[in-house]
Amino acid sequence: MTSLAFAMPAEIVDPSVVAPPGDLYSNEPPMESYQHLVQMILLLESLELFWKERTDFFAAGNLTIYFSPRQLKSENFRGPDFFVVLGTERRPRKSWAVWEEDGRYPNVIVEVLSESTEDKDRGIKKQVYQDVFRTPDYFWFHPETLELAGFHLVDGQYEPLTPDASGRLWSAQLELFLGVQDGQLRFFTPEGELVPAGKELAQRAESAEQRAESAEQRARRLAEKLRELGVDPETLK
């Protein structure tokens, strides 16, 4: 989403805009559309579930990142649609204030493009993520055109990532592929398996239960048939 930073002159510091430690709320506007919201939740939910045993990361969507050298909440902030920070404590946060997080910036950022934001996502935001954040992996995805692009930081400059045979892009930071499936941006394992979200996990569990129930029903029918033929199925075990 679009976040504007308003820089104050160096000699003027308004106490009202100094961030109180640990109490800095996110300052992001609502998502562009329902489609954007669904996409953000899908990325967040699937990664959180896939890494459910890990405690060394923070993932968020539409959350403000404050990075003012003077620790001011009125300047130097951005709100990526989705980002992941590695090597940090997994716990809820109201925002991400770099000075309160040992100077850490996101390792991975994903922006969901729209007509009103794509120029900034391709331009100024990309520049900030490269030159200031030094975020190793940056991706953008357009939910209408299904355009997917990715960049990896090499010697301080973003180099475009080359898609694999399936059109997916590798994130060295996440050790996962990003690719488009059914019109949505998804994560894939190195083996090419879809990283499922909650609904998909529930469907898989239901399917497994149905298969188990079906196998049990077949076993019962077979046992009944054997008894009809005068064979005790217990003697075949």
Q: N- to C-terminal Cα distance for the chain?
A: 63
Q: What is the pLDDT of residue 35?
A: 83
Q: Which of 2-11, 73-82, 170-179 has the lowest mean pLDDT?
A: 2-11
Angle of helix 34-50 versus helix 198-228 axis, rounded to 10: 60
Ramachandran area for residue 62 (φ above 0: left; ψ -120 to 50: alpha; else beta): left
pLDDT at 84 over 90: yes
How confident is the model over 173-189, as pLDDT tens digits? 999 999 999 999 999 99
Ramachandran area for residue 175 (φ above 0: left; ψ -120 to 50: alpha; else beta): left
How confident is the model over 202-224, as pLDDT tens digits? 565 545 445 555 766 776 776 67
DSSP string, 85-140: EESS-----SSEEGGGTTT---SEEEEE--TTTHHHHHTHHHHHIIIII--SEEEE
Specify the higher pLDDT residue, 216 or 146.
146
Q: Rg of the Cα trace of the chain?
A: 24
Predicted TM-score (pTM) of the model is 0.75
